[in-house]
Amino acid sequence: MSLLPRLGRKNGDLAPERATMRSIIPGTPADQSQRTSAATGTFLRLTGLLALLTVLWSLATPLMAYPDEPVHTIKAAAVARGQIFAEAGKSFGHGVHVQVPSYIANLQSQTCFTFQRDKPAGCAPGIPTDDNYLTIGVTSAGLYNPMYYWIVGFPSLFMSGAPAIFAMRIVSALLSALFYAAGFTALARLRHPKWPIVAAAVAMTPMVFFLASGINPNSLEIAATMAAFCGFLVVLENSNQLAVVRPAVITVGLSSIALANTRSVSLVWLLCAVVVACLCYRWKDIKAIFGNKLVLLTVGITSIGVFLGLLWNVWMLNAPPSAGAAPLGISNATGDIPSYRAFLTMLDRSFDFVAQYIGVMGWLESSLPQGVFMFWNMLLILVLLFVFLIRRWRLQIAFLVALAMLVLVPSAMQAVLVSSVGFIWQGRYSLPLFLIAVIAAGMTFRFRHFPRGRPAESITRLFLGAAVFAHVYGFLYVLRRYVVGIPDYGNWQTMITVPGWQPPLTWEGLTILYAAALLVAAHMLFGYLFPGRRFFPRRRPAARFAIPAK
């Protein structure tokens, strides 16, 4: 039996199998109460697991090693202290000036290792816990929506020094974990959830975990887009029985509000998620959901949240003007690149960005090893090609549109921005669309039979084991980059002999915990795909031979 989707097999052929699955797979049991309780359990377990993985990344990554983390941390501390709006006379060419504790204003001093992959993070000075006098902090994120920052900045009100910043990171990581867990839980409530869940698991690249664990609203917008998209899918699929997918409706509402209040561009991701989700279903399903009171109530509340997000964007368009133009480094506008050329250049780089979907950590200087790229490239190509095994174009269309969006939307945005801020696009900005495209691929072949039997289990074990290995290898490689740096020669042994930096719990401890958490994740996914079976097969008892009595 093959792990690949079987061609030409129709839904009706699966009826007996589905009848068996209904009682086992979360989200598909026969009665509503079972479905609700199963979904709650799934959500809590997934939240715990994803929170553990993201928090471990938070601890494994040196402070300020995430892209633009200093300016987002400063903004978060300022918003938590009530400095929400950009006031007149406080906006300058390099950013908005705020009043934050000195140890936060000075976070730029932590970035001595950025852009230099051979330099360990030990060069960063200690962060004192007693430098709490308020001083000028500069943030280029001064005009961003304050919602994310208000939540993340909260720990800085009652903690200080490095623990405060780690706590801010952990709050951000937990926020992302909640949305990812909501997304997976929603997918599990599809009628044919296995392939979409497999696709979603493929989309959880090391880069997704890495970004989820730092202080940057980019983390929330990726997670919230995933949750919103998955929620949309479930809501549309259950348009005639929305009462049984109430959590998915709430997920859509909360994710939409989060997206509308994260970054101005996040609303574009929301729109893309809506379009692709609608293309996965029929027009009558879309119409049907608007006859439901819960949906209408959610739409009403969500509209208020989206309106507030839009209001903020409009407000910030009329924010007090900056006293000067952004200097080089913040703006890279050249004025020489016409929009059409920026658009074509982005198209040209479409495949180049894939590496940044998989894992280019730090300030874009810390690529994962080629082995990890090879593994995820293989998975992504398989996902891409599987779609074309489906014979009905109606099923393919949503994926093709999602793929087109992944290529065209960032290109169009960069073309618009090139004259004002220069060439700024990075792969991480497109990650919301990447997640939509990969999950949409899983939706395309969701009706295909998910193989069962020992060969399928063996292949799944192999792939899951390889995924765990790839994740741990990537995690360890990133730790190596910060513990001893990555020069042009092998220096793994120096991680033990002369580590130049140590994260909390030591790199060895974090790696063991990360590997253990991933094995638990693999175990859970395997048990979900093959109900009643285990990722770690039990040893067969040795054959007992009866020894004749003498």
Residue type at 254 in one-letter notation:
L
- Enumerate residues 6+ apart whose C-beta is below 8 A from 340: 415
Q: How far is CA 114 from CA 123, 414, 480, in A?
A: 11, 25, 14
Contact 426, 381 (CB under 8 A): no
Question: What's the min distance (Å) between Cβ of 163 and another protein?
Answer: 5
Specify the DSSP class assigned to residue 240. Answer: T
Which residues would be at the binding site for another protein (CB under 8 A)?
Answer: 48, 52, 55, 59, 89-90, 92-95, 97, 102, 105-109, 112, 123, 125-129, 131, 133, 135-138, 161-163, 166-167, 170, 323-324, 327, 503-505
Question: What's the min distance (Å) between Cβ of 128 and another protein?
Answer: 4
Within 10 A of 227 (CB to CB), how many other CB atoms are there?
A: 30
Q: What is the dihedral of CA 317, 321, 324, 325, to 10 degrees?
A: 10
Measured from the CB atom, is 43 or 434 closer to another protein? 43
Measured from the CB atom, is 138 or 390 closer to another protein? 138
Measured from the CB atom, is 3 or 333 closer to another protein? 333
Measured from the CB atom, is 133 or 307 closer to another protein? 133
Question: What's the min distance (Å) between Cβ of 68 and another protein?
Answer: 14
Measured from the CB atom, is 39 or 55 closer to another protein? 55
Rounded to whole angstroms, how far apart are CA atoms 109 and 137?
Answer: 13
Question: What's the min distance (Å) between Cβ of 8 and another protein?
Answer: 46
Within 10 A of 521 (CB to CB), how many other CB atoms are there?
A: 22
Question: What's the min distance (Å) between Cβ of 89 and another protein?
Answer: 6
Measured from the CB atom, is 327 or 455 closer to another protein? 327
Considering just the CA atoms, what is the radius of gyration of the chain in Å?
24
* Token duo for residue 389: 């095994």
Question: What's the min distance (Å) between Cβ of 125 and another protein?
Answer: 4
Rounded to whole angstroms, how far apart are CA atoms 92 and 523?
Answer: 52
Rounded to whole angstroms, how far apart are CA atoms 173 and 165?
Answer: 12
Specify the DSSP class assigned to residue 328. Answer: B
Contact 184, 46 (CB under 8 A): yes
Rounded to whole angstroms, how far apart are CA atoms 418 and 303?
Answer: 31
DSSP 496-510: HHS-S---TTHHHHH
Rounded to whole angstroms, how far apart are CA atoms 24 and 29?
Answer: 7
Question: What's the min distance (Å) between Cβ of 139 and another protein?
Answer: 10
Contact 252, 235 (CB under 8 A): yes
Question: What's the min distance (Å) between Cβ of 364 and another protein?
Answer: 21
Residue type at 489 in one-letter notation:
Y
Within 10 A of 292 (CB to CB), how many other CB atoms are there?
A: 19
- Enumerate residues 6+ apart whose C-beta is below 8 A from 450: 5, 194, 195, 529
Question: What's the min distance (Å) between Cβ of 265 and another protein?
Answer: 25
Measured from the CB atom, is 16 or 89 closer to another protein? 89
Contact 81, 99 (CB under 8 A): yes
Measured from the CB atom, is 259 or 483 closer to another protein? 483
Measured from the CB atom, is 132 or 350 closer to another protein? 132
Write the burial class of residue 529 (CB in 10 Å: 0-12 exposed, 13-18 middle, 19+ buried).
buried
- Enumerate residues 6+ apart whose C-beta is below 8 A from 417: 424
Question: What's the min distance (Å) between Cβ of 39 and another protein?
Answer: 18
Question: What's the min distance (Å) between Cβ of 93 and another protein?
Answer: 4
Measured from the CB atom, is 310 or 513 closer to another protein? 513
Question: What's the min distance (Å) between Cβ of 73 and another protein?
Answer: 12
Question: What's the min distance (Å) between Cβ of 123 and another protein?
Answer: 7
DSSP 438-485: HHHHHHHTTTSPPP-SHHHHHHHHHHHHHHHHHHHHHHHHHHHHHHT-
Beta strands 134-139; 360-361: pairing state: unpaired
Decide: helix, strand or coil at residue 267. Answer: helix
Measured from the CB atom, is 127 or 220 closer to another protein? 127
Contact 390, 444 (CB under 8 A): yes
Measured from the CB atom, is 95 or 427 closer to another protein? 95
Question: What's the min distance (Å) between Cβ of 56 and another protein?
Answer: 9
Measured from the CB atom, is 59 or 518 closer to another protein? 59
Measured from the CB atom, is 94 or 480 closer to another protein? 94
